[in-house]
Amino acid sequence: RGQQELNTLRQGLGSLASAQYRSGGIDPSLALFLSSNPDDFLDKASSLDQLSATQAEALTKIQGKQRTLAQQRKEAQDKLKDLADTSKVLDDKKKEVQGKLGDAQKLLNSLTAQEKAALASDESRANRSTERPNLGKDVPASQVGAAALAAAQTQLGKPYSYGATGMATFDCSGLTGYAYRQAGVNLPRTSQEQANAGTRIGRSELKPGDLVLFFGDLHHIGLYAGNNMVLHAPRTGTVVRYESMDNMPFQFGVRIG
């Protein structure tokens, strides 16, 4: 659209220039001397001055439009580069996830029928267990943490869905983000970003409502519920539930507020 506007301005300037060229371009004093009607010539000269002013204004508009268009093109090129970089990162992440899924499928295929049945039974029992377990008597470190944990507890039993932030379904960071929004705090979207949203703490320092990060690449997050239990949205096929922190490789905690 900007280029079209610039082209329109240029066409208008070209028409002005053509009209000026057709008027002759001889010295004004000589033209006045040769004119058979000096009054008519002076009227035309006044019109020509107005035409020149219009031409100058058109030139200014064109210069401004050219500068704006150049800036817009540069911004567009920068955004295209950012999109290309992001696309590459997403493609690499997709390949990584596909590799992990392949490894997980190989592991699952290596299990005996009895082991698969036991695993399915444990998973089904864990999903049905939405009652509050023994969480001990630890006190949250802040009202914010207490409010976040309370909000997360209202979502027990909701299904896991990758990329979901509520209210019907959640992924792990979607649940923690939702919980802290109810407490008046906006967290970043992903678990890796949320890992840097507050003060990092060790396992012995954890209080109910603190964020807890798992796995070396920090791809999983939940809320510490007390007594070595985490409240989280585990993975596809599960629901928001309590679970022992010993079931996953704990990395560190994060205290918000």
pLDDT digits (tens, 9 = 90+) for 195-220: 999 999 999 999 999 999 999 999 99
Q: For the domain that residue 244 is a member of, what is the CATH number?
A: 3.90.1720.10
In a domain? residue 210: yes
172 is catalytic: yes
**Per-residue confidence (pLDDT) for residue 141, from 0 to 100:** 95
> Is the pLDDT reported for residue 99 higher than 60?
yes
Q: Are residues 84 and 168 in the same domain?
A: no
Our answer to whether residue 219 is catalytic in this structure is no
Which stretch of 2-11, 16-25, 95-104, 211-220 has the lowest confidence by average pLDDT? 16-25
Q: Which of 53-57, 100-104, 118-122 has the lowest mean pLDDT?
A: 53-57
- In the annotation, is 232 catalytic? yes
Residue 57: pLDDT band (50, 70, 90) is confident
Establish if 97 belongs to a structural domain.
no
Check whether 7 has a pLDDT greater than 90.
no
pLDDT in tens, 224-257: 999 999 999 999 989 999 999 999 999 999 999 8
More confident site: 23 or 168:
168
Task: Please give the pLDDT value at position 14.
Answer: 66
- In terms of pLDDT, which residue wins out, 174 or 56? 174
Model confidence at 168: pLDDT above 90: yes
Q: What integer best gives the mean pLDDT of the chain?
A: 85
**Confidence at 130, pLDDT banded by 50, 70, 90:** low
- Res 43: pLDDT: 62
Whether 25 and 121 map to the same domain: the answer is: no
82: pLDDT strictly greater than 80 = yes
Domains of the chain: total: 2
Asked whether the predicted pLDDT for residue 39 surpasses 80, the reply is no
Examine residue 181 and state whether it is found in any structural domain, yes or no.
yes
pLDDT at 222: 98
Above 70 in pLDDT, residue 165?
yes
* 215 and 130 in a common domain: yes
Domain of residue 38 covers 2-88
User: For residue 198, is it within any domain?
Assistant: yes
- Residues 84 and 131 grouped into a single domain: no
Judge whether 153 lies within some domain: yes
- Position 171 confidence tier, pLDDT thresholds 50, 70, 90: very high
71 shares its domain with 180: no
Give the 3-state DSSP-derived string for the chain, with helices as H, strands as E and coil as C: CHHHHHHHHHHHHHHHHHHHHHCCCCCHHHHHHHCCCHHHHHHHHHHHHHHHHHHHHHHHHHHHHHHHHHHHHHHHHHHHHHHHHHHHHHHHHHHHHHHHHHHHHHHHHHCCHHHHHHHHHHHHHHHHCCCCCCCCCCCCCCHHHHHHHHHHHCCCCCEECCCCECCCCECHHHHHHHHHHHCCCCCCCCHHHHCCCCEEECHHHCCCCCEEEECCCCCEEEEEEECCEEEECCCCCCECEEEEHHHCCEEEEEECC
Q: Does some domain include residue 94?
A: no
The band of 42, judged by pLDDT with boundaries at 50, 70 and 90, is low
Q: Tell me: do 160 and 76 sit in the same domain.
A: no
Shared domain for 201 and 126, answered yes or no, is yes
Answer whether residue 62 is part of any domain: yes
pLDDT at 33: 47
Same structural domain, 148 and 247:
yes
Instruction: Say which of 9, 58, 172, 256 is annotated catalytic.
Output: 172
* Residues 129, 234 within the same domain: yes
243 and 146, same structural domain? yes
Residue where a domain terminates, one of 42, 72, 88: 88
Does 183 lie in the same domain as 124? yes
Same domain for 81 and 11: yes
Q: Point out the catalytic residue in the list 65, 220, 241, 255.
A: 220
% residues pLDDT > 70 (the chain): 80
- Amino acid 36: pLDDT: 54
Tell me if 138 is assigned to some domain: yes
pLDDT at 4: 82
pLDDT computed for residue 190 by the predictor: 96
Question: At residue 64, does pLDDT exceed 70?
Answer: yes
- Candidate list 207, 232, 241, 255, residue with the active-site label: 232
Domain boundary (88, 106, 130) is at: 88
